[in-house]
């Protein structure tokens, strides 16, 4: 495993990490979750990602139980949560968002569900224009000062919102966000590569990144090249929107590209999942790639991606670039 600094912070996260979205509480029970987390942990993973909204708190409860059962030392891994969407069906306006009240309550509820004394990383899962930036930055600073959170960050905030958070922190002597959690994969690049480009510079923000959906929910594994396998994410109830995305004109164009990319992977004597993950890892502005998996065998395969990075030479990257043909394009349709 390779360990990368989370932006300007002193925390070194494993370049490949593991998250609970979709799988925990929907596809996996505690024992299955523990088996998958163990496969990741044994390969050097030191970051497990979660959120209050995942399976309405169930994903955190399962991860908490799995961590307790694992017997791992608390100082050998980091665990996160994210606040914004609420953890109950149809939350009222004070049970979601980024008000001081909801951030505090969501933090303590996550700590309880995860059965840990503090959250290593805590993210504002989306921006909230209805809450003053000072209230958000001050609340996160207080949580850090109380020892309930070690590092705070954002997810899918615009570059402008990140700059504003830093400027408010400077103005009031508060703690600015350390990291962002954006979507980044071969099909979704604009924000990470263009909008945030200056923010990685340590003299600007020194932004750390924990990127999500590196396989575009599995599309980049090639498993959807000939339809939708029965035991796959896109066949799950509640994920019709993913299926619709796949069958759309844009989705079908992406499938055609995956078929082309698969030939490059074959030439490299590797698999599509490994190549797509290695492509993300190759970007030095990525602090950690949060992987997802519904099976231990997927973790075993995905965590070999680091070995492939040196094989992604300039020539190979150029070939991939030629197939993707999306370097500067702003693409929509992310969740
Ligand atoms: P991916 O895009 O990598 O998709 C993971 C899914 O792809 C797996 O659950 C599995 O689904 C399939 N898969 C993975 N590896 C393989 C393989 N080797 N072969 C075949 N199929 C494979 O990541 P996620 O979308 O799960 O995102 C990762 C994490 O990022 C989340 O768990 C969460 O922590 C975070 N995230 C954050 C968001 C945010 O807004 N901040 C939003 C979304 C995710 P299956 O087997 O069921 O088909």
Which of these is catalytic: 3, 41, 54, 122? 54
Residue 332 pLDDT grade (very low, low, confident, very high; cuts 50, 70, 90)? very low
The protein residue whose alpha carbon is closest to atom 48 in ligand 1 is 232
**Is the predicted pLDDT of residue 99 greater than 90, yes or no?**
yes
Hey, whose CA ends up nearest to atom 44 of ligand 1?
212
Q: Residue 94 in contact with residue 102, Cβ under 8 Å?
A: yes
Which CATH architecture best describes the domain 3-324? Answer: Alpha-Beta Barrel (3.20)
Q: Does the pLDDT value for residue 68 go beyond 70?
A: yes
Q: How confident is the model at residue 333 (pLDDT cuts 50, 70, 90)?
A: very low
Question: End-to-end CA distance of the chain, in Å?
Answer: 29
Q: Give the pLDDT band (50/70/90) at residue 330.
A: low
pLDDT band at 328 (very low <50, low <70, confident <90, very high): confident
pLDDT digits (tens, 9 = 90+) for 234-270: 999 999 999 999 999 999 999 999 999 999 999 999 9
Round to whole Å and give the CA distance between 9 and 209.
11
Q: What DSSP line would sit under 268-284, residue for residue?
A: TTS-HHHHHHHHHHTST
Task: Tell me whether strands 288-291 and 3-5 are parallel, antiparallel or unpaired.
Answer: unpaired
- What per-residue confidence (pLDDT) applies to 329? 61
What's the rounded Cα separation, in Å, for the pair 64 and 117? 11
Decide: 53 and 86 in contact? Cβ < 8 Å. Answer: yes
Q: Is the CB of 64 under 6 A from ligand 1?
A: no
Residues 157-204 pLDDT 10s: 999 999 999 999 999 999 999 999 999 999 999 999 999 999 999 999
Q: E strands of the chain, at which residues?
A: 3-5, 12-14, 16-19, 47-49, 78-83, 119-124, 149-154, 179-180, 208-211, 288-291
> Residue ranges of the alpha helices (H) in 73-228?
100-114, 133-146, 159-172, 190
Please confirm, yes or no, whether 239 is among the known catalytic residues: no
**Exposed/middle/buried for 291, CB within 10 Å: 0-12, 13-18, 19+?**
buried
Do residues 56 and 95 lie in contact, with contact meaning Cβ atoms separated by under 8 Å?
no
**Residue 303 to residue 298: CA distance in whole angstroms:** 8
């Amino acid at each position: 495993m390779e360990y990368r600094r989370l932006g300007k912070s002193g925390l070194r996260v494993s370049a490949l990490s593991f998250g609970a979205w979709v799988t925990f509480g929907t596809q996996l029970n505690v024992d299955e979750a523990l088996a998958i987390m163990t496969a990741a942990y044994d390969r050097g993973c030191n970051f497990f990602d979660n959120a209050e909204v995942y399976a309405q708190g169930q994903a955190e409860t399962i991860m908490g139980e799995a961590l307790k059962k694992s017997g791992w030392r608390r100082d050998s891994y980091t665990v996160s949560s994210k606040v914004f969407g609420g953890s109950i069906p149809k939350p009222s306006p004070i049970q979601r968002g980024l008000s001081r009240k909801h951030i505090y309550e969501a933090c303590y509820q996550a700590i309880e569900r995860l059965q840990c004394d503090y959250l290593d990383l805590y993210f504002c899962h989306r921006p909230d224009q209805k809450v003053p930036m000072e209230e958000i930055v001050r609340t996160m600073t207080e949580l850090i000062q109380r020892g309930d959170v070690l590092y705070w960050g954002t997810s899918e905030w615009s570059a402008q919102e990140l700059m504003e958070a830093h400027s408010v922190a400077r103005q009031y002597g508060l703690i600015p966000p350390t990291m962002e959690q954006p979507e980044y994969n071969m099909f979704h690049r604009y924000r990470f590569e263009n909008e945030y480009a200056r923010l990685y510079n340590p003299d600007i923000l020194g932004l750390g990144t924990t990127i999500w959906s590196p396989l575009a929910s599995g599309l980049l594994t090639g498993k959807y090249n000939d339809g939708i396998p029965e035991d796959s994410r896109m066949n799950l109830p509640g994920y019709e929107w993913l299926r619709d995305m796949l069958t759309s004109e844009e989705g079908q164009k992406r499938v055609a590209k995956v078929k082309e990319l698969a030939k490059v992977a074959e030439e490299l004597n590797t698999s599509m999942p490994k190549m797509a993950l290695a492509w993300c890892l190759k970007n030095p502005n990525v602090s950690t790639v949060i992987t997802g998996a519904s099976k231990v065998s997927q973790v075993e395969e995905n965590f070999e991606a680091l070995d492939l990075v040196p094989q992604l030479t300039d020539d190979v990257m150029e070939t991939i670039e030629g197939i993707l043909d999306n370097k500067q394009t702003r693409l929509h349709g992310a969740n």
